[in-house]
Amino acid sequence: MKTWKVKKTYSRGYALGPARIIEKKEIRTVYDKITGDNITAEIKRFDEAVEEGCRELMELSGKSEIFAAHAALASDIALREGVENKIKDKLMCAEEALLETSGEFVFIFESMEDEYMRERAADMKDVCERLLTILSGENENPFEGIEEKSIIIARELTPSDTAKMNLKLVAGFVMELGGATSHVSIMAKNLGIPCLTGAEGVLKGVKDKDFIIMDAGAGEIFAEPSKDLIEEYEEKAGKWREEEKRLRESAGLPSLTKDGIRFELCANAGNPEEVRGAAEYEIDGIGLFRSEFLYMGSDHFPTEEEQFFAYKEAACLLKDKELTIRTLDIGGDKELKYWQLPKEENPFLGYRAIRICLKEPDIFKPQLRAILRAGAFGNVRIMYPMITSVEEIREANKILEQCKKELEEEGIPYKKDIQTGIMIETPAAVMIAEELAKEADFFSIGTNDLTQYFLAADRGNEKVAEIYNSYHPSVLRAIAATIRAAHKQGIKAGMCGEFASDEKAAVLLLGMGLDEFSMSAGEISRVKSRLRETDYKEAKETADNILSKGSVTEVINCLI
């Protein structure tokens, strides 16, 4: 038996069945040059291929919105200009000109630090492959001949590949490349198909039709397992399917506890694609939109227009549901390759987040203007990170008012009554939460940073991992105090840290009075199911009891 372990996993579930190895035909890279007399005809041939490709993609857009995005990429002016120039200047045929131009785009995408932007290289490769197929007149389907439910194993898969599949015959996906934001990963998660990416070496160790077990949650793959292991995982898979069925059945039910208390469930997202995926779930909105993806995935500070289009797309996807955009949160462990931050001994305690924005209005104002403009298209809110004082909120809002005045004078539509909230993620913010609540429209508790600051334990340091624990009584009391302060001033308190997606913690937080839980979209169904089974009065009694405990062990022993 051969086994593989994948470090990072992005889905759950089990799959058992025969492997189907997908090996794509190598793309031809050597072509003959054309003559000067053929330049016009060759450009026309490329334009006709683009026209046909866009027509195919728009027909597929009913299956997934990504194909509409691919159509826009295929007809991109920069792509056409690059191809046309190479045909004219280098006498390349359309195929070679397309390969070279798309390769330049791919290089740019793959050089970016942001994972989402890096994986857009796969989109360009997919579009290029489609156009090359049209130009060559060849149209092979590597998925033909699959007649039984199989586990698809490939180096990499594209949206166009999935369009050729009968997904009813797909038990799972295993890919050597790809990550959380690849379209196949997102699609698999939305369809409930187990998916593992980053499984290096699996193609060398597995043969077509080998029997495979994959445990997506644990990131494990077993080839040619023993009979006992097959029986063990068949039982696990059966229980998992029953649980998934129960969760699907409850997905459309109201977010109410057993005794009728309402709670709000939102998703965290880092880009419009993740918003699109989250919108598939029964969510109340996006509780945290990490705006830094636009900055970290670029080679320059994104312009107001670039930001506006991204925020507008996210707002339109949500329609009337809330989109809470956190303003730029760089520093600490998040850097920009094109803007050098000062070297600091303690970057997590230094020049970061709102501190940068208030010192750099030329960076802050374009973002605020973009958010205000996007607010004209949806239910958008602004959230300031790393707040430690009343003065910081007032200064940020003063700059916001300047932006409103400018937009008004320029006659540009914007959201006049936009709400501004803050993240509670420092001990200072907890201690003056009542004063901050008088200045803010809402709170969002960021437990990841709050825990490390309260416990003086770096969340990325394995040597102090046992100290970093959000169930520590000091952290729980800080959360409870923050919620009380918010409610005293009549504003909502939410949470966007990982703690909100812990099912047991969610019950405890509900008992503390937390209004909004924001988490990864894939965790929402489980948390919702758990809270629907909870009696609010019982949860409140448990919370009151736990808040009197003095150790993590005592707290955990009291959880329900």
Model pLDDT for residues 24-83, shown as the tens digit of each residue? 777 676 788 999 999 999 999 999 999 999 988 887 765 666 777 788 889 888 899 999
What are the structural domains of the chain? Answer: 2-20+142-235 (3.50.30.10), 36-136 (1.10.274.10), 258-558 (3.20.20.60)
Residue 390: which of 356, 438, 427 has the closest Cα? 438
Residue 356 near residue 413, CB atoms below 8 Å: no
Q: What is the pLDDT of residue 65?
A: 61
| Residue 472 known to be catalytic | no
Question: Phi/psi zone of residue 382: left (φ > 0), alpha (ψ -120 to 50 degrees), beta?
Answer: beta
| Residue 128 known to be catalytic | no
Q: According to the annotation, is 515 in a ligand binding site? A: no
Q: For residue 2, what is the DSSP state?
A: E
**Strands 492-495, 211-215: parallel, antiparallel or unpaired by DSSP?**
unpaired
pLDDT at residue 253 above 90?
A: no
Q: According to the annotation, is 80 in a ligand binding site? A: no
In 3-state terms, what secondary structure has residue 129?
Answer: helix
Residue 120: which of 271, 223, 301 has the closest Cα? 271
Question: What value does the mean pLDDT of the chain take?
Answer: 89
Q: How far apart are alpha carbons 406 and 43 in whole angstroms? A: 46
Choose between 256 and 296: higher pLDDT: 256
Arithmetic mean of pLDDT, 303-309: 93
Q: What is the pLDDT of residue 180?
A: 61
Amino acid in the structure at residue 467: I
Q: According to the annotation, is 85 in a ligand binding site? A: no
Arithmetic mean of pLDDT, 210-215: 96
Q: How far apart are alpha carbons 254 and 252 in whole angstroms? A: 7
Q: Cα-flanking dihedrals φ and ψ of residue 53, to 5°?
A: -65, -45
Arithmetic mean of pLDDT, 163-192: 78
The DSSP H or E segment spanning 526 is helix 524-532
User: 157 pLDDT band (50/70/90 cuts)?
Assistant: confident
Q: What is the pLDDT of residue 67?
A: 79
Model pLDDT for residues 531-540, shown as the tens digit of each residue? 999 999 999 9
User: 114 pLDDT band (50/70/90 cuts)?
Assistant: low
Model pLDDT for residues 398-423, shown as the tens digit of each residue? 999 999 999 999 999 999 999 999 99
Choose between 284 and 76: higher pLDDT: 284
Model pLDDT for residues 355-403, shown as the tens digit of each residue? 999 999 999 999 999 999 999 999 999 999 999 999 999 999 999 999 9
Residue 175 near residue 216, CB atoms below 8 Å: no
List all residues 6 or more positions away from 23 whose beta carbon is below 8 Å from its beta carbon: 142, 154
Q: How far apart are alpha carbons 9 and 180 in whole angstroms? A: 8
Catalytic residue among 183, 195, 357, 472: 183
Residue with the two structure tokens 């023993």: 226
Q: Which residues pair with 443 in a beta bridge?
A: 422, 493
pLDDT at residue 10 above 80?
A: no
Residue 158 near residue 125, CB atoms below 8 Å: yes
Q: What is the pLDDT of residue 460?
A: 62
List all residues 6 or more positions away from 300 whose beta carbon is below 8 Å from its beta carbon: 338
Q: How far apart are alpha carbons 384 and 353 in whole angstroms? A: 8
Most confident of 161-170, 305-314, 507-516: 507-516
Residue with the two structure tokens 């996210």: 314
* Full DSSP string of 275-306: HHHHTTS--SEEEEEETHHHHHTSSSPPPHHH
The DSSP H or E segment spanning 495 is strand 492-495
Amino acid in the structure at residue 294: L
Q: Cα-flanking dihedrals φ and ψ of residue 447, to 5°?
A: -70, -25
In the structure encoding, which two tokens stand for residue 487, read together? Answer: 């409610």
Q: How far apart are alpha carbons 542 and 257 in whole angstroms? A: 15
Arithmetic mean of pLDDT, 204-232: 95
Instruction: Report the percentage of the chain scoring pLDDT > 90.
Output: 62
Residue 21 near residue 203, CB atoms below 8 Å: yes
Arithmetic mean of pLDDT, 232-237: 96
Torsion angle of the four alpha carbons 19, 23, 24, 30, in this order, in degrees rounded to the nearest 10: 170
User: 493 pLDDT band (50/70/90 cuts)?
Assistant: very high
Model pLDDT for residues 512-550, shown as the tens digit of each residue? 999 999 998 878 888 999 999 999 999 999 999 999 999
Cα separation values, 289 from 360, 420, 483, Å: 21, 14, 21
Residue with the two structure tokens 């794509």: 24
Residue 491 near residue 419, CB atoms below 8 Å: no
Arithmetic mean of pLDDT, 344-349: 78
pLDDT at residue 560 above 90?
A: no
Q: What is the pLDDT of residue 281?
A: 79
Q: How far apart are alpha carbons 69 and 65 in whole angstroms? A: 7
Q: How far apart are alpha carbons 359 and 498 in whole angstroms? A: 30
Model pLDDT for residues 422-470, shown as the tens digit of each residue? 999 999 999 999 999 999 999 999 998 999 999 998 876 667 778 889 9
Q: According to the annotation, is 241 in a ligand binding site? A: no
Helices 39-60 + 77-90 axis angle, to 10: 150
Q: What is the pLDDT of residue 113?
A: 64
Q: Please, what is the end-to-end C-alpha distance for the chain in angstroms?
A: 40
Q: How far apart are alpha carbons 271 and 267 in whole angstroms? A: 12
The maximal CA–CA distance of the chain, rounded, in angstroms, is 86
Q: According to the annotation, is 498 in a ligand binding site? A: no
pLDDT at residue 181 above 60?
A: no
Catalytic residue among 54, 266, 403, 496: 496
Residue 199 near residue 7, CB atoms below 8 Å: no
Q: How many CB atoms lie within 10 A of CB 503?
A: 14
Q: What is the pLDDT of residue 284?
A: 95
Q: What is the pLDDT of residue 296?
A: 74
Q: According to the annotation, is 425 in a ligand binding site? A: yes
In the structure encoding, which two tokens stand for residue 320, read together? Answer: 């009337």
Choose between 374 and 190: higher pLDDT: 374
Q: Cα-flanking dihedrals φ and ψ of residue 266, to 5°?
A: -125, 170
